[in-house]
Amino acid sequence: MIKLYDFPLSGHAHRVRLMLSLLDLQYESIHVKLDEAEHLGAAFTDLNPFQQIPVLDDDGFVVRDSVAILCYLARKYGPQWYPQDAKSIARIHEWLSIATKEIATGPASARLVNVFGVKLDHAAAIEQSNKLLSIINAQLEGKDWIAIDEASIADIAAYTYIAHAPEGGVSLAPYSNIIAWLSRIEALPGFVAMMKFEAKKAS
């Protein structure tokens, strides 16, 4: 049985939940209480010395890092999501790198400020987000998918933090190609959404 060490509001963890669902794989979700620092404890540190979620345990084979998990799941259970010709690999990995860099320092960081109260430069993260989204919107002109002609793990890696960019104060309204791309992902059989964060209203 596959086990996923998970946290509901983590975009990194949602990438993996989404991939598991698209592949129609059964798994056990193990909630890691980040708000109680459970990820810093000895038991979880044994699983992932970097003390981050998600972590996947596939019958004793443990994989950390959401992008690495996407690659593993696709190669083992759904190779159509990760074609192995040289050109497809290059295009997909371009976007996997963007997911771990520009998306992480843009929409993901802006969201960290609003959702988790992380002390980052919010204005800079929003600026970075809009610069990135403008580029992605242009890249999607005339295209259905972000990396290759079919949906791939690149789309899954990029989806969550872009879809939830408004939670970080980044509007998607100016980016019609991105909105259409998000809708295509959400129409895929097996799609599962991430819980939306709603800020508490002052009483």
How far is it, in rounded angstroms, from Cα 97 to Cα 49? Answer: 22
Q: What integer pLDDT is reported at residue 34 of this predicted model?
A: 83
How far is it, in rounded angstroms, from Cα 163 to Cα 167? Answer: 9
With CA atoms as reference, report the closest residue to 93 among 20, 148, 22. Answer: 148
Which residues make Cβ contacts (< 8 Å) with residue 123, sequence separation at least 6? none
Give yes or no for residue 203 having a pLDDT over 60. no
Q: What is the mean pLDDT of the chain?
A: 95
| Identity of residue 101 | K
Q: Domains along the chain? A: 2-80 (3.40.30.10), 83-186 (1.20.1050.10)
Give yes or no for residue 169 having a pLDDT over 70. yes
How far is it, in rounded angstroms, from Cα 133 to Cα 102? Answer: 10
Q: What integer pLDDT is reported at residue 195 of this predicted model?
A: 85
Give yes or no for residue 150 having a pLDDT over 80. yes
Q: How confident is the model at residue 76 (pLDDT cuts 50, 70, 90)?
A: very high
How far is it, in rounded angstroms, from Cα 15 to Cα 109? Answer: 16
Number of residues written out for the chain: 203
Distances (CA, A) of 159 to 72, 112, 190: 18, 16, 15
With CA atoms as reference, report the closest residue to 136 among 89, 93, 108, 99. Answer: 99
The mean pLDDT value for 133-142 works out to: 98
Q: How confident is the model at residue 202 (pLDDT cuts 50, 70, 90)?
A: very low
**How does pLDDT run across 83-102, given as a tens digit for each residue?**
999 999 999 999 999 999 99
8-state DSSP, 4: E
Element (H, E) at 34: none
Q: Are strands 61-64 and 55-58 parallel, antiparallel or unpaired?
A: antiparallel
